[in-house]
A and B are shown apart, each in its own frame.
Chain A
């Protein structure tokens, strides 16, 4: 895929793929007329996004005594967090250490991650697990269960020590279960479902002082003023970059990147995306859906059309994905129903460890049930699927972007993973940096007088005009382009 350079906005970011570049360089969805009719609201901290990072941020800010509004485009919990199957990394084992985790993460990211952020990530690991257990999250235990049982640790691709903690192969779902309960029961958090952010608000000094939301149910704009805004808007899989299917949920349309960039925030590694090696290639209705790395972690092999293993399945994800693409490109793939992939040898795995399907791979069992076949007898056809946006908004170890008052946590931020992410580090990141951003945003002084406006949008429109760029395309996308939704028509109706 050929990348085009961004000609407007803060430079320094590597050129993103064209569809993303087009979104970043598009015009705003709203103008002053929308603003004039907007209903004003206030919050001490505004969290955009209802996934794991947003929930963690909201809980941290509310815990510090702030009134928090959490606005989400879909519903609380509709996110990629619930899709995370494999687990969460944290260096808690006796043979493990923070240094090991740090080294693995940096190496896995090809030494391109920000070491300050990685240090923060791995240091927070054990505390994050303790916090999650405190919220009521269940983790798998070692065989000798009972009092004093230890958490079961699994090995992730690209790591030197078993470090993955999991709840079967539905870890993210379990995590979101407790996060959602905690958020919805918290007296200082107001959850606003189906309220996508369509623009940020800036003050005269260029700080972020709120956001404009669009309330889908009441068809009205909301002008939400807040001295701190936390972007937890996730990634961009639904742009289907390079024509790949995606494992991402419906809302992953790069909204956070668009809003932050328009305001002048620096972004990084936007050309770098993770393609998960084992997305479902067939049957077609499940295409793009994920088969957890836990399956390979448990020992399943990848097999090409000649029946040969062609890669160590537990190498870093980008290497395994590249190996699969090479097999396909060189004609050793398997075609089924018009779709090409390689086999994930579940019959072999389940022959060796027959009880896995009932104990650790319940997600796989559910998937096989949906696909209508028996993984004990038939292998899955898999191919890489667009999985994770490695880059994003540049943040400091407290989660603040280069724009004062604007924070980012989770997939929308960049630098934590560098140019490749290890399994299990995303779930750790959303809690670690979500809580950091929430706590730091809560400490931000509430300005005495800051109305906030969209002057940064006007500056942006002037820049577009000066550069001769088209002003018709509008962003954020909010919903995938195959969704029958137009904000302008919806708002006018």
Chain B
């Protein structure tokens, strides 16, 4: 298998909580570079074009800059490791096998923003990741690095591993804040953005685990090196969680901008049992479906958006001919319905009704009225929630209605 250009999954870095091993393998160099010139951190990330790997693809440097410029003491940096959506399994690998890359990325973020707290917010369902990260944090705290950090910051730096609520919704930025403030992880409306008012009303920077894991490598090797890893205009590498009807599902680190075709047919070993390719749910899975016409799409944030879908977390759930799209959508909507926090009536009732209607249609019990109801829900629900959950759910339903109308035809 092609393992060129691996950064996050580079075999020598898969050490678990072994700080000495990480330093011997070249870890720590990024932090040294950051300590040497803290003011250069954010411009370097800007030049490297590092994006938010949790799904938004938002330029990371902007978030960092906002948090750095926000007035206030006791700032927080949060590594979001709540990963819970179907088909995504990248962060748990990083937290378990390269915890020091993640912590180092968090330390650099703390340095760039002047934070006093670094929180590793990890889903307790991934018990191995939590345990490994606790060991890793203890090693950093016992090392001279923390003292150097605190000298550079000019105030103490607290590092904590916090178990999340284990709920899907707990990964939403404002829900993260609510949970860390000691409340149920209810999302709230933005603004104020976390960078303005986050945990304990202090400016808060929340980054996905994969995003932070990239940071020490970028600081160590430079922005130009990172940009060169990507294909075309895209920069760096990306973790793709490949699952579904392929021969070799798994976690792949490939250059950002690798084509869907290459991911499935080269790295994924082709389709299971030689079946025909039908569609891909991207992570996760709350986006527009990719179909046969999109096999050539470059898997980077901008190219996928040009096809009116989203790269999301990099999860690619591949569906073959013979698999019911409605059934898959029904499964995912049932997941969203179970994951809705219930504070917005439109989301609570909307996801429930979507799931109920899809279950009826999928089971052959649906009527033409059910289908009409489904379609009108898709028109009225978007934008009605405090967070994006209901929008994601509607997007995937609507996309299946548009892309695979034949499958719904029996109900019509």
Residue ranges of A at the interface with B (Cβ–Cβ < 8 Å):
31-33, 35-37, 39-40, 448-449, 451, 453, 458, 461-462, 465, 471
Q: Which 9 A-B pairs have the closest CB atoms?
A: A36-B324, A33-B322, A32-B323, A40-B363, A449-B338, A32-B322, A451-B331, A31-B322, A461-B273
A458 and B334 form a contact (CB under 8 A)? no
Roughly how many angstroms separate A462 CA and B250 CA in the complex, as a whole number? 12
Residues of the A chain whose Cβ atoms lie less than 8 Å from the Cβ of B335: 449
List the A residue with the shortest CB-CB distance to B278: A32
Say how far A36's CB is from chain B's closest CB, in angstroms: 3
Cβ-based interface call for B412 (8 A): no
Residue of B nearest to A33 (CB): B322
Distance in Å: Cβ of B242 to nearest Cβ of chain A: 12
Interface CB pairs A-B, < 8 A, 27: A31-B273, A31-B275, A32-B322, A32-B323, A33-B322, A33-B323, A35-B323, A35-B327, A36-B322, A36-B324, A36-B326, A36-B327, A37-B324, A37-B364, A39-B363, A39-B364, A40-B363, A448-B338, A449-B334, A449-B338, A451-B331, A451-B334, A453-B331, A458-B245, A462-B247, A462-B248, A465-B247
Chain B residue at minimum C-beta to C-beta distance from A204: B86
Kindly list chain B residues whose C-beta atoms are within 8 Å of the C-beta of A33: 322-323
Neighbouring B residues of A458 by C-beta, 8 Å: 245, 272
A203 to chain B, nearest CB (A): 11
Q: Given A458-B245, A458-B272, A461-B273 in contact, is the A32-B320 Cβ separation under 8 Å?
A: yes
A465 to B269, CA, bound (A): 11
How far is it, in angstroms, between the C-alpha of A32 and the C-alpha of B318 when the chains are bound? 13
- Selected from B245, B273, B320, B326, the residue in CB contact (under 8 A) with A471 is B273
Residues of A within 8 A of B249 (CB): 462
- Find chain B residues with CB under 8 A from A39 CB: 363-364
By a CB distance below 8 angstroms, the chain A residues around B326 are 36
Residues of B within 8 A of A465 (CB): 247
Q: Min CB distance, A425 to chain B, in Å? A: 42
Beyond the given pairs A449-B334, A458-B245, 16 more chain A to chain B contacts, judged by CB atoms under 8 angstroms and listed by A's residue number, are A32-B245, A32-B320, A32-B324, A33-B323, A35-B323, A35-B327, A36-B324, A37-B324, A39-B363, A448-B338, A449-B338, A451-B331, A451-B334, A458-B272, A461-B272, A461-B273
The answer on a CB contact under 8 Å between A36 and B323 is yes
Q: How far is the CA of A290 from the CA of B154 in the complex (A)?
A: 90
Complex Cα gap A461–B269 (Å): 13
Collect the chain A residues with CB atoms within 8 Å of residue B334's CB.
449, 451
Q: How far is the CB of B384 from chain A (nearest CB, A)?
A: 23
The distance in angstroms between the C-alpha atoms of A461 and B245, with both chains bound, is 10
A40 to B331, CA, bound (A): 13
Q: Which residues of B contact A36 (CB under 8 A)?
A: 322-324, 326-327
Residues of the B chain whose Cβ atoms lie less than 8 Å from the Cβ of A40: 362-363
**A residues less than 8 Å from B364 (CB atoms):** 37, 39
Bound CA–CA A461/B363 (angstroms):
26
- Interface 1/0 per residue, B339-364 and A, CB below 8 Å: 00000000000000000000000111
Question: What is the number of residues of chain B that contact chain A, defined by CB distance less than 8 Å?
Answer: 20
Q: In the complex, what residue of chain B is closest to A40 when comparing beta carbons?
A: B363
Bound Cα distance A190, B275 (Å):
37
CB distance from A445 to the nearest CB of B (A): 16
A462 near B272 with CB under 8 A, answer yes
Residues of B within 8 A of A32 (CB): 245, 320, 322-324
A33–B335 Cα gap in the complex (Å)? 22
Within 8 A of A (CB), among B230-281: 245, 247-249, 272-273, 275
Looking at A32, A458, A462, A471, the one whose CB has the most chain B CB atoms below 10 A away is A32
Q: Contacts of B272 on A, CB cut-off 8 Å?
A: 458, 461-462
* A79-B84 Cα distance, complex, nearest whole Å: 46
Q: Give B286 Cβ to nearest chain A Cβ, in Å.
A: 17
Q: Which chain B residue has the least Cβ–Cβ distance from A448? A: B338
Contacting residues, chain B, for A449 (C-beta < 8 A): 334-335, 338
Contact with A along B309-338 (1 / 0, CB 8 A): 000000000001011101100010011001
B36 to chain A, nearest CB (A): 46
Contacts of B362 in A (CB 8 A): 40
Inter-chain CA distance A453–B334, complex, in Å, is: 14
Task: Give the distance to chain A from B192, nearest Cβ to Cβ, in Å.
Answer: 34
Residue of B nearest to A462 (CB): B247
CA distance A347 to B247 in the complex (A): 65
B321 to chain A, nearest CB (A): 8
Distance of A42 from chain B, by nearest CB (Å): 11
Taken together as a complex, chains A and B put the C-alpha atoms of A21 and B247 apart, in Å, by 24
Determine the distance from Cα of A461 to Cα of B244 in the docked complex, in whole angstroms: 12
Minimum CB–CB distance for A27 against chain B, Å: 8
Residues of chain B with a CB closer than 8 A to A471's CB: 273
Give A401 to B326 CA distance when docked, in angstroms.
Answer: 33
Which of chain B's residues have a CB closer than 8 A to the CB of A448? Answer: 338
Looking across the interface, which residue of chain B has its beta carbon closest to that of A34?
Answer: B322
| A458-B245, A462-B272 known; A35+B338 contact, CB < 8 A | no
Least CB distance from A115 to B in Å reads 34
The distance from the CB of A472 to the nearest CB of chain B, in whole angstroms, is 11
Instruction: Report Cα–Cα, A462/B245, bound state, in Å.
Output: 10
- Expressed in whole angstroms, the minimum distance between the Cβ of A468 and any Cβ of chain B is 13
Within 8 A of A (CB), among B270-311: 272-273, 275
- The CA of A42 and the CA of B247, in the complex, are separated in Å by 31
CB nearest neighbor in A for B321:
A33
A294 to B331, CA, bound (A): 56
With most chain A CB atoms within 10 A of its CB, the pick from B247, B272, B273, B364 is: B273
Distance between Cα atoms of A40 and B360 in the complex (Å): 10
Complex alpha-carbon distance, A31 and B338, angstroms: 27
Contacts of A453 in B (CB 8 A): 331
Nearest CB of A to B283, in Å: 15
How far is the CB of B285 from the nearest CB of chain A, in Å?
14
A461 / chain B contacts, CB cutoff of 8 Å? 272-273
Q: How far is the CA of A118 from the CA of B223 in the complex (A)?
A: 68
In the assembled complex, the Cα of A39 lies from the Cα of B320 at a distance in Å of 21
Contact residues in B for A31 (Cβ distance below 8 Å)? 273, 275, 322
- B338: A residues at CB distance < 8 A: 448-449
CB distance from A161 to the nearest CB of B (A): 52
Give, as a whole number of angstroms, the nearest-CB distance from A294 to chain B.
Answer: 51
Closest to B244 in A: A458
How far does the alpha carbon of A458 sit from the alpha carbon of B245 in the complex, in Å? 7
Q: Which residues of B contact A451 (CB under 8 A)?
A: 331, 334
Contacts of A35 in B (CB 8 A): 323-324, 327
A residues less than 8 Å from B324 (CB atoms): 32, 35-37
A451–B362 Cα distance when bound, in Å, is 12
Residues of chain A within 8 A (CB-CB) of B248 are 462
CB distance from A131 to the nearest CB of B (A): 39
CA distance A31 to B324 in the complex (A): 11
* Interface hub of B249, B326, B327, B334 (most chain A Cβ within 10 A): B327
Question: What separation, in Å, do the CA atoms of A449 and B324 have in the docked complex?
Answer: 20
Write the chain B residue with the least CB distance to A471: B273
* Cβ–Cβ < 8 Å partners of A462 in chain B: 247-249, 272
